[in-house]
Amino acid sequence: MAAFAVCALAVWLTIFPAFADPATPEDEEVRRMLEKSLSVVEIDKEIVRVQQQKQTVAEQLQVSQDKLKEQEQAIEKKREDAGKVLRAYYTGERDIWLTALLSVDNLSELLTLLDYFDLIFANDKLTLNTYKKQYKELKSSIAKLDDQSKQLDELEERLNTQRARVVALQKDVDSALNGRSDADNLRLLISEFTDFWENVGLTEVKRYFSALSKAMKHMPAWVQENKDDMLEINGFNYSLTIPEDKLNAFLREQNELFNTFAFAFEKDTVIVTGKRDNLEVRLTGHYTLEETGSILFHVDSLMFNGLELPDTTRAELEKEFDLGFYPSKIVSFLKTKSVAVEDGKLLIKLSISL
């Protein structure tokens, strides 16, 4: 039993530091180092994602290039056939059939000749249409090839940009550590924060985003149930006002996670905060109205335990979780005219879609 206890303690001591909750330091310089270190970790993930995208696009490009070669070979024969048909019409080679038509002596010959006409002209039409179709497909393949080449160039540029960011951030961190008497302790602190973020923090942030995304899908039905309180009708125009207290009450009905979570509306800004145990998340963002009438939420700032995460993390979370609002799901014939955030409320102007 004693040996077992010693082994268990050893295992616990080995694992616990990686999942410990390090306190965010108050020293501003140290906080900036931690933010930059977390940014290095997150941008490294973005580099991996971009590399994977680049590999996928490169493979698609190779397939498209091979397919283009096959199409070019296949269309060459049809180009020759189409040329022969057009030359026959241009040089008058088909006039012989008109002469033959004028020289028939009886109805039986006429009908037989017309059958020949039908076969010849149908075949000519098929030859020309086949070439036209293959030529159109070839042009489409070339255009697709160009798009993929441009996408590959953009990904390469994006990859280089992110690599340069990582190098610069790591250089800043190393420069800040050099010469400090507590450099080893700070490196340990950075390592603890990094481990805590990757093993606990990121999971927690994604948990909030996932819960929010699921709740937003039920929002149109909730508005429909409470339209007498929030929807004002003036002729063909509708005004939807969502107070922050009602929205927070709705969210808490959806998931108990939101008992320690809140939306706050300020002028042109949405602030979302959540705190559970020793984990704290704070994000600010704004809504935009899309051409489709959808209202999308964009994250402008994301803080975890007082440390700001980079734009790559925000972009990836936006991509993975949909926090948008779709008023057309309230009433199908309504379209969104505008969206605005004021102190304490979200205002959405709607009109009948004619």
| Domains recognised in the chain with CATH numbers | 48-161 (1.10.287), 207-352 (no CATH)
Give 11's pLDDT tier (boundaries 50, 70, 90): very low
pLDDT of 70 over the 90 cut: no
Q: What's the CA gap between 75 and 132, in Å, rounded?
A: 10
Give 8's pLDDT tier (boundaries 50, 70, 90): very low
- The per-residue pLDDT for 141 is 77
- The per-residue pLDDT for 6 is 36
Average pLDDT of the residues of the chain: 80
Report the pLDDT averaged over residues 33-50. 91
> Model confidence over 151-187: pLDDT tens digits?
888 888 988 999 999 999 999 999 989 978 889 999 9
- The per-residue pLDDT for 117 is 54
Give 112's pLDDT tier (boundaries 50, 70, 90): low
- The per-residue pLDDT for 314 is 93
Q: What's the CA gap between 109 and 57, in Å, rounded?
A: 62
Report the pLDDT averaged over residues 132-152. 79
Give 83's pLDDT tier (boundaries 50, 70, 90): low
Task: Give 198: exposed, middle or buried? Use CB within 10 Å, 0-12, 13-18, 19+.
Answer: middle
> Model confidence over 246-269: pLDDT tens digits?
999 999 999 988 998 899 999 999
> What percent of the chain has a predicted confidence (pLDDT) above 90?
33
Rounded to 10°, the helix 244-254/202-217 angle is 100
Residues for the chain: how many in total?
354
pLDDT of 12 over the 50 cut: no
Give 150's pLDDT tier (boundaries 50, 70, 90): confident
Report the pLDDT averaged over residues 203-224. 90
> Which H helix or E strand runs over 115?
helix 107-177
- The per-residue pLDDT for 282 is 93
- Which two three-digit tokens encode residue 104? 């028939």
User: How many other C-beta atoms can be found within 10 angstroms of the C-beta atom of residue 214?
Assistant: 13
- Which two three-digit tokens encode residue 30? 């140290």
pTM over 0.75: no
pLDDT of 236 over the 80 cut: yes
